[in-house]
Amino acid sequence: MDYVKAYYDENSTLEWDRLDNPYSRIEFTTTTHLIDKYFKNISNVIDIGSGPGRYSIELIKRGFDVSLLDLSQNLLDIAKKI
């Protein structure tokens, strides 16, 4: 777990940018479609492995109350700034 945490702490900016890659946009579009389809009648979400908060932002835009959880404090710091 320390190795994973260290990787994401050192590469936190890359994780924010990852979903801008054309191939990863497919992941992002598919995931947000599934959120719209299956997250009905819920108002609170815990985004476990939230990273820098890209999906959390989308959940908040859709009216969810979101809590973020991640191993990397650097990623959570990015999410706080957004």
Report pLDDT digits (tens) over 17-69. 988 889 899 999 999 999 999 999 999 999 999 999 999 999 999 999 999 99
What CATH number is attached to the domain comprising 31?
Answer: 3.40.50.150
Structure-token pair, residue 10:
């050192």
Contact 59, 36 (CB under 8 A): no
CB count in 10 Å sphere of residue 80:
10
- How high is the pLDDT of residue 82? 81
Domain that holds residue 39: 2-81
Q: Which bin fits 68, alpha (ψ -120 to 50), beta or left (φ > 0)?
A: beta
| Structure-derived torsion over alpha carbons of residues 5, 68, 24, 38, reported in degrees to the nearest 10 | 140
Count of structural domains within the chain: 1
Amino acid identity, position 63: G
